[in-house]
Chains A and B, each alone.
Chain A
Amino acid sequence: MKSLEDLREMRKEVEKEMQTRKNTNKPKVIIGMGTCGIAAGAREILQAVMEEMDKRDLDIEVTQTGCIGMCEKEPLMDVKLPGKDRITYGNLNKEDVKRIIVNHVINGNVVDELVIARLEE
């Protein structure tokens, strides 16, 4: 079983990696975590984003927000690339998240059929 001893080892690894990462202009992902979002599966959407980040070694800023009044379209996730429009995706499942991360966050191509709103920069 894992112990805090292992955590110390992990810390050393992370410390080395930190030095190679830059912190400016990261892509942003925002997940709706109000009661409506949580009930619709937003926690699993957040988990899927974290898994993709880990798998693909991505440096993304992930934040959460409360209810924004589009409860019927939850789970919601926004993607904001530096200098680009903020795109809101809705009615998501874990597979959609993978597509959005690969197509939009990594390659810059908006996944049109999942978009429910667009906020111009």
Chain B
Amino acid sequence: MKELALHVLDIAENSISADADNISIEINESTIKNRMTIIIEDDGKGIKKDVLENITDPFVTSRKTRPVGLGLSLFKAAAKRCEGNFNIESSNKGTKVKAVFKRDHIDRAPLGNISQTLISILLWDKNIDVQYIHTYNNKQFIFDTKEIKKELDDINITDGKIINWLKDYINENISEIRGGEFN
């Protein structure tokens, strides 16, 4: 994947398939510790223990149409090639995926377009709630669809105008905390 944000979208879609109501996406960046951590956690039905053991093997998937699944394998490989690590935990209460990257590693893909990723998740399933917490050194941006939906009341969060507004809102806030950094 060209962007870490695309991995986030891919993993979040597993959460949607697992019938999650809530997805929490956390990005922690520290230029001091030279680390970047991405955590995606959901309250879906979880992954069975025997499947979980080999879940990052490309030839393991819960999909029925073909016995190949690449999403988690690709995410793990992305972290591993940046001197990072990867971990997945799951129970019948949900799943938590964590990937750690050495931040300035030459092979670390740029974070990419997080707002478009978040919006794609909302457009997939408007009933899902997403909490996005992005920390960059000592600065933080929190985006919580529960809060947005409260403001919107009976108006749909996937209305075109609202989506466009949210896109700019998220972009502005992320570039603010990251001090205009693109990677």
Contacts and interface: CB of A to CB of B under 8 A. Distances in A.
Interface of A: 1-2, 4, 6-8, 10-11, 13-15, 17-18, 33-36, 38-39, 43-44, 46-47, 50, 53-54, 62-64, 66-67, 69
Contacts of B19: none
Contact of A13 (B1, B65, B113, B161): B161
Interface of B: 1, 6, 9-10, 13, 17, 63, 65-66, 69-71, 74, 113, 116-117, 119-120, 123-124, 147-148, 151-153, 155, 159-165, 168-169, 172-173, 176
A69 B173 contact: no
30 contacts: A2-B168, A4-B147, A4-B148, A7-B151, A7-B152, A7-B169, A10-B165, A11-B151, A11-B152, A11-B153, A11-B155, A13-B161, A14-B162, A18-B155, A35-B69, A36-B70, A38-B6, A43-B6, A44-B116, A47-B119, A50-B160, A50-B163, A54-B160, A54-B161, A54-B164, A62-B123, A64-B123, A64-B124, A66-B17, A66-B63
Nearest to B11: A35
A39 B151 contact: no
A96 B7 CA distance: 25
Contacts of A53: 160
Nearest to B150: A4
Given A7-B151, A8-B151, A66-B17, A35 B164 contact: no
Nearest to B6: A38
A7 B148 contact: yes
A10 B69 CA distance: 41
Contacts of A10: 161-162, 165
A43 B117 contact: yes
A17 to B, nearest CB: 8
Contacts of B69: 35
Given A11-B155, A35-B10, A46-B120, A1 B176 contact: yes
B161 A43 contact: no
A33 B12 CA distance: 11
A66 B105 CA distance: 32
B165 A7 contact: yes
B64 to A, nearest CB: 11
A1 B13 CA distance: 30
B9 A43 contact: yes
Contacts of B9: 33, 38, 43
